[in-house]
Structure 1
Amino acid sequence: MGIFTSKQQPEPAPCSLLTVKIIKIKNLRKADLFTQSDCYVNVWLPTASLKRTKTQTVNDTKDPVWNESFHFRIQNQVKNILELKVCDEDKHTADDHLLTVFFDVSKIQLGETVRLSFQLNPQGNEELEVEFTLESSPDVPEKIFTNGVIVSREVACLEVQLDKGRVKSESKFTLSVDGSYEEAKNLTLHSWLCPAAPAKFHYVKFNQSELDIELRRRVLCPASRERNETTTVHLTSFPVEEKVTIPPNKTFDLSVKSKDWTQGLLFKRPKEIDVRLGYDLCSDEKNFLKKRKQVVAATLKNILHLEQDLKDHEVPVVAVSTTGSGMRALAAMYGTLWGLQRLKLLDCVSYITGSSGTTWTMTDLYEDADWSYKDLGEIIKNARKQAAKSKMSAFSLASLKTYHKELCQRTIAGYKTSFIDLWGLMIEAMLNDGNNNHKLSDQRRAVNRGQNPLPIYMALNVKDNVTTKDFREWVEFTPYEVGFLKYGAFVRAENFGSEFYMGHLMKKLPESRICFMQGMWSSVFSKNLLDAWHSADNSEDFWNRWTRDTVTEIEEVPDLPEQPHEIPTRMFTPAGGLSNALRDILTDRPAVSKYHNFLRGFQMHNEYMQNQQFSKWKDTILDESPNELRDPTDHLELVDTAFFFDTSCPPLLRPERKVDIILHFNYTGGSQAKPLERASTYFSEQGIPFPKTILNDEEMKNLNECYVFEDTDNADAPTVIYFPLVNDTFQRYLAPGVERSTAEMSLGNVDVSSAFSPYSTRQVSLQEEDFNKLLNLTNYNVQNNANTIFQILHKTVERKKQVQGSQIVS
């Protein structure tokens, strides 16, 4: 087992002092029919403070004037987006939200005072006037960790000691620090005890954090109701490492001490983070590739009849990519791998990626540390038995009681459970004879010598009340680590699901059993109504008009010098109540898989939009809205990647993996060409090297068993050898070159596409005859196109030799 080591070093990064002066609004729009607005401005900079502040309310005027100033201490390396929310105050109903201006603070240069007029509505001469001043902070530079996309801020530890003081009876307190890891704690002080143990909070040292203390008084009768006693302590108002007693005039005594969270007593530097920041492969995967290349090189020399051993740079990286739909994908993948093994091609593969049903096959195989060296025919026997057995017991009352008991234990352990976890337990019951204690990190035993390809699984992180089309983030899972392709942030596989704050592991939870991972990777129940609409009809305009808020770019006067990393000023105008209600209905997901967010607390780097690695995967409307992009959500919401497009290629296109050949096997129902075509179009739009995979109408009507797609103009694009799920020559041939007898013709009749196919995604069982037919079909399709695979392998080896030779000459 590899050891996770972080070589990341903290960087000193100075803070600045920002003053925001809200001056006035001219020609403000009306919120009420008969009167002018009673206007105030809510001022919020979430990267500096989680508490919102506001101006006074100016009543009944279209030209309110405030001249009120607000002060923030900001980290210059962070993307600071100021939100100015203009509201109309109502006495008897909720305040009306008129608009919000989003302003990138990096437009203001250090040492400047700039007065800006935001053009809210040029036609109506509606303007918001604000003055900004940016000054140096006298504080020592903050020590941050960053990869140029996300930032881990310096964390301090607060200790709060409460004494009873003049309170004689039992006292109950609520202590809270917004934005801290702990958020809030409840304490009870008993009259017969010494002072309670200090309460601890971990918070961003250079944020404008506050400690709120509430003494809850017992009410004996409604007529004598007393208000709770509250105290607020500004954590920036007292020195670090010194114990301060406050306040002396309260009925309880309070002492507060804040200290730097350092790497032990001997090392006075910020505590190292437990999230790996960086886009490079982890050291474990690099070590795996070195070992795997030795296996691949020896195999290629044998099957390609090479005269000399291949050098390390001449060994191509070959990957198997699969798509999935339930039991059909499970059986089909076994046949594919069996065919590759018979051709000795399985030992040429360095990566296997899967989604949905193929993850069921992969997790089964990787329980055996040497599965690819064993006869897959024997392994398949058990899979066939599990596929054919009745699944009724998995849904019985006794099973449901067992599931409920384990889910309760999972909740007690610290996980947030959902129906997807129940689905994972059902998958386990359908595919096993008992509980399977295997975990993702256990699969390291199957790759520790480079003896098998490295498995990679995929999921999408989504947001509540947002469609998958509008927001999704690729998350990959390997036996070594779990991480975001877009952010370049990874945690050890055994720590996925544990609680993190600002990159630090705060609470270790037991690693999930593999069945809970299977439920997440094949979460067919997470689709909302808008996702279903997009799947059925790509014309999204109608629904978007009725469900999206309005966000427009606006100008400020005078024009400021443009910075390459700045985000344009935008104005948000909320949709009406009907649109909000409709959006809630359409975007509500029945169930998602929820895990603690290991990116909790991270903030976006000031120049994150210019990072080339981030740009490869930024593809949604929220990617230019950093306040929403990395909001302080406690949980990730993970769904099946098929909700976007059904392919498991994305992790193979990380340039660090240098994949040369992708053997892409499609097991989905419906169109066999459209999923890969959509993926190819997506990669092209993202600037990710990938060949065009478009087939003409005639080719789509009569699909072959195998296609080769190449981009001869881009050496970085992998060669894709694509296998659609079709029953072509298998109908007439028992094996490549061996024709079927009349009695064997029925065995070649495999219905993979009609409405009456036994391989429907809804099927949870496959009879042995149907399992064998599909198994033999995919096995045959691989073997019947062996020459194509060998030719591409030989061609790729020769190309890599030539490239290296030309580099040596130059």
Structure 2
Amino acid sequence: MSASKPKESISRILKNVLNKSEQEFVAGRRNTVLQTLNKLKIQCSQKEVPNIALLGSGGGQRAMVGLLGSLVQLDKAGLLDCILYLSGVSGSTWCMASLYKEPNWSTKLETVKDKIIERIRGPEVSLTDPMAKLKKYYYGKDLFSLTDVWAVMVVMSYVKEIDEHTLTEQRKQHNKDPFPIYAVIDKQSKQSNDGDPWFEINPYEAGYSLSGVFVDTGDFGSQFHKGSKIKHQDEFDMLYLQALCGSALGDEVDIKKTMWQKIKAFFQNETTLEAMREEERERTDKAMRKEKKTEAIEADTISDASDDPISPPLDECHRAFMDLVNMNLSVLNGENPSGFDKSIRTNLNDLSGGKRPLISTMETLETADIRPEKQYINRFTMEVCEYLSSQIQNWLFDAGISICKCMAQWIWGRKYNFLHNMTDEGVKSTLLQSETRDYIDAGVLLNSPYFSVLREDRDIDLIISLDFSQGDPFMTVKDAAETCKKLKIPFPEVNITSEDKKKPKDFYVFKGQNTPTVIHIPLFNVVNCGDEVEDWRKKYRTFQGAYSAEMIADLMDVAGKNISNNREKLKEQIRAVIEKKRFG
């Protein structure tokens, strides 16, 4: 962008002040909350209207279905329109994306719920659709990462659709719904433990919740320099957003195994291989037609085939590629990968005509029977990919190579940094220096979006935390309290008894002076599951395939009971925060 052109877009640095559009939304929503409280016969003036945030934790499809079941019961209890903000991480965002696809979904939740359930218990999307979507992602942006792959190979298998809508399209479509906030974290900030890792995305803005720096959501991902946009990137769609938010279905080893298995299944599928072959046939035919045309025009000139070389046989390159995938899987499974190593080197040696295209770092596997270190296998993968990428001109094969490179480098959610080279003393310098940032599932740091609603400018009075976590059902609220204490953010003390850890109940309230009230609701507890809490946890693990229709119905019911059983307690706490505002 030349200096003479006007600035297209500028990053916003305005701490403790809400975006104007959000201010307008909140003002209108607070009127709805007031009318709802009057219907519930809860006395409240305009000034006393409580700002209530509902949080959905991560937990894969368990969180998606659990949040849906909870919202349905909040609606039946007449409490849904008391909610000002709805924020989620990971699996809860899959539910949110499905809901906000429908304008003013909360006015027709029963109908919307039926549509979502029918979809997620239905058949998977056919392979040709994710293949086409992968092509769009691969060619449609400067920065391709595993998040694009996760969207088409994993998230799609749970949500059973390709949602190409964007967040900015939802502006003005949800004035009767809670304000949505999708939460992720900045990977570099998490790793360095320096700065603000909590990152939020809503229909209007995307940015760092606590640092107070934001960019228009439509420009998140575009390239910026000193606060001005210099290169536009198309806004990501809702399928990608669900992948960005929901990729922490297990620890890193589990995710890597899943990714390599998905890559293997996708690229060894005959439909994929046939698509590669068809593209290769078309490319070869085009090259031959070009050569014949040249010969016809210049009959006395021998055509130089090097101008448009014919690739080595695709099947041989594909075989080496699949050996590489299997080799990575064998390493993760603790198996000896030397057989795949030998096959790869033999295959590529043949393809190169005996010129040994690979450097000596591969040699150690030939005789070793120990598992190679992570650094070694990553380097090995990059070397094989570099050679294969020079051999085949085929978008699907190129995409496979790029995916393997991303796996070796473990690149997720890479975006241009909208703060690049800005200067602001109130923002950590580490946020301003790098050209790109990586954004990942918030569940790897805190499996609930507390810090999106704990922004001072949102002035939240009551937080209702729905916890769908697989492990300790109190970890999210305990970690939030501990982090808030370090950051000097008002948050109540959280004390959990040893008895509660063993036998969690369905409703906890934490209060403090000059802090929001926090209601914490574990999904599986002794009230809705009796003595079978562990059985329910084992049945609904995070890291498993899509749930059956029966499992979805049972989970909806269990999650809903946590709301229906506590309708009066919820109203009691709403009254309490109103009293606190009235006299506090």
TM-score, scaled relative to structure 2: 0.69
Change (3 A) 1:434 1:653: closer
Asked if 1:687 is matched to 2:488, the reply is yes
Change (3 A) 1:403 1:526: farther
Conserved in 1, the CA contact under 8 Å of 2:503 and 2:526? no
String of CA shifts for 1:551-604, please: whole Å, max 9, x gaps.
xxxxxxxxxxxxxxxxxxxxxxxxxxxxx979x99x986231111111111134
Question: For 1:590-601, what aligned pairs fall within 5 Å after superposition?
Answer: 590-601=410-421
Asked if 1:524 is matched to 2:248, the reply is yes
2:184 matched residue in structure 1: 459
Mapped to 2, the partners of 1:401 and 1:516 lie a distance apart of 15
Q: Which has the higher strand share?
A: 1
- AA matched with 2:144: T
Change (3 A) 1:470 1:483: closer
Asked if 1:283 is matched to 2:13, the reply is no
2:225 matched residue in structure 1: 501
String of CA shifts for 1:121-176, please: whole Å, max 9, x gaps.
xxxxxxxxxxxxxxxxxxxxxxxxxxxxxxxxxxxxxxxxxxxxxxxxxxxxxxxx
- AA matched with 1:387: I
- AA matched with 2:559: T
Conserved in 1, the CA contact under 8 Å of 2:524 and 2:536? no
1:410 to 130, 137, 140: 140
Mapped to 2, the partners of 1:525 and 1:657 lie a distance apart of 30
- AA matched with 1:278: L
Mapped to 1, the partners of 2:116 and 2:551 lie a distance apart of 13
Mapped to 1, the partners of 2:192 and 2:466 lie a distance apart of 24
String of CA shifts for 1:591-645, please: whole Å, max 9, x gaps.
311111111111342xx3xxxxx6xxxxxxxx5xx3xx14532211001111112
String of CA shifts for 1:767-809, please: whole Å, max 9, x gaps.
1111111101111111111111111111211221224xxxxxx
Conserved in 2, the CA contact under 8 Å of 1:323 and 1:356? yes
Asked if 1:632 is matched to 2:433, the reply is yes
2:61 matched residue in structure 1: 327
Change (3 A) 1:491 1:683: same
Conserved in 2, the CA contact under 8 Å of 1:460 and 1:475? yes
Larger Rg, first or second structure (1 or 2) = 1
Runs of 4+ more than 6 Å apart:
none
SS of equivalent residue, structure 1 residue 379: helix
Mapped to 1, the partners of 2:63 and 2:410 lie a distance apart of 24
Mapped to 2, the partners of 1:478 and 1:777 lie a distance apart of 29
Change (3 A) 1:753 1:593: farther
1:477 to 179, 183, 201: 201
Conserved in 2, the CA contact under 8 Å of 1:369 and 1:446? yes
Conserved in 1, the CA contact under 8 Å of 2:529 and 2:536? no
Asked if 1:387 is matched to 2:113, the reply is no
- AA matched with 1:323: S
Conserved in 1, the CA contact under 8 Å of 2:55 and 2:464? yes
2:172 matched residue in structure 1: 445
Deviation at 1:442, TM superposition (A): 1.9
Mapped to 1, the partners of 2:32 and 2:84 lie a distance apart of 9
Conserved in 1, the CA contact under 8 Å of 2:468 and 2:523? yes
Question: For 1:724-803, what aligned pairs fall within 5 Å after superposition?
Answer: 724-730=522-528, 753-754=534-535, 757-803=538-584
Change (3 A) 1:504 1:513: same
Mapped to 2, the partners of 1:759 and 1:278 lie a distance apart of 43
2:31 to 291, 294, 298: 294
Conserved in 2, the CA contact under 8 Å of 1:707 and 1:722? yes
Conserved in 1, the CA contact under 8 Å of 2:250 and 2:542? no
Change (3 A) 1:338 1:526: closer
SS of equivalent residue, structure 2 residue 84: strand
- AA matched with 2:439: L
Question: For 1:60-99, what aligned pairs fall within 5 Å after superposition?
Answer: none
Asked if 1:429 is matched to 2:172, the reply is no
Conserved in 2, the CA contact under 8 Å of 1:603 and 1:630? no
- AA matched with 2:110: G
Aligned length: 439
Mapped to 2, the partners of 1:430 and 1:598 lie a distance apart of 32
Deviation at 1:755, TM superposition (A): 8.8
Q: Which one is further off, 348-357 or 488-497? A: 488-497
The one of the two structures with greater contact order (alpha-carbon pairs below 8 A, sep at least 6) is: 2
Deviation at 1:430, TM superposition (A): 2.7
Deviation at 1:363, TM superposition (A): 0.6
1:655 matched residue in structure 2: 456
Give the gaps of 5 or more residues in structure 1: 1-181, 183-199, 201-260, 265-270, 533-579, 609-613, 615-622, 733-748, 804-810
Conserved in 2, the CA contact under 8 Å of 1:325 and 1:669? yes
Deviation at 1:431, TM superposition (A): 4.9
Conserved in 1, the CA contact under 8 Å of 2:210 and 2:455? no
Mapped to 2, the partners of 1:282 and 1:383 lie a distance apart of 31
- AA matched with 1:494: G
Mapped to 1, the partners of 2:192 and 2:64 lie a distance apart of 25
1:117 matched residue in structure 2: none
Deviation at 1:677, TM superposition (A): 0.8
Change (3 A) 1:407 1:437: closer
Deviation at 1:324, TM superposition (A): 1.4
Conserved in 2, the CA contact under 8 Å of 1:520 and 1:639? yes
Deviation at 1:730, TM superposition (A): 3.1
1:68 matched residue in structure 2: none
Deviation at 1:389, TM superposition (A): 3.1
Change (3 A) 1:423 1:482: same
Mapped to 2, the partners of 1:516 and 1:288 lie a distance apart of 25
2:304 matched residue in structure 1: none
SS of equivalent residue, structure 1 residue 776: helix
String of CA shifts for 1:109-129, please: whole Å, max 9, x gaps.
xxxxxxxxxxxxxxxxxxxxx
Conserved in 1, the CA contact under 8 Å of 2:11 and 2:228? yes
Change (3 A) 1:655 1:404: closer
Deviation at 1:492, TM superposition (A): 1.0
- AA matched with 1:316: P
- AA matched with 2:414: K
- AA matched with 2:421: G
- AA matched with 1:767: S
- AA matched with 1:429: M
- AA matched with 2:206: V
Question: For 1:45-56, what aligned pairs fall within 5 Å after superposition?
Answer: none
Mapped to 1, the partners of 2:415 and 2:93 lie a distance apart of 19
String of CA shifts for 1:7-59, please: whole Å, max 9, x gaps.
xxxxxxxxxxxxxxxxxxxxxxxxxxxxxxxxxxxxxxxxxxxxxxxxxxxxx
Conserved in 2, the CA contact under 8 Å of 1:706 and 1:785? yes
- AA matched with 2:177: N
Mapped to 2, the partners of 1:425 and 1:379 lie a distance apart of 24
SS of equivalent residue, structure 2 residue 47: helix
Mapped to 2, the partners of 1:338 and 1:633 lie a distance apart of 43
Conserved in 2, the CA contact under 8 Å of 1:725 and 1:752? no
Mapped to 2, the partners of 1:444 and 1:762 lie a distance apart of 34
Mapped to 1, the partners of 2:123 and 2:185 lie a distance apart of 31
TM-score, scaled relative to structure 1: 0.51
Deviation at 1:276, TM superposition (A): 1.2
2:470 matched residue in structure 1: 669
1:488 matched residue in structure 2: 212
Conserved in 2, the CA contact under 8 Å of 1:669 and 1:753? no
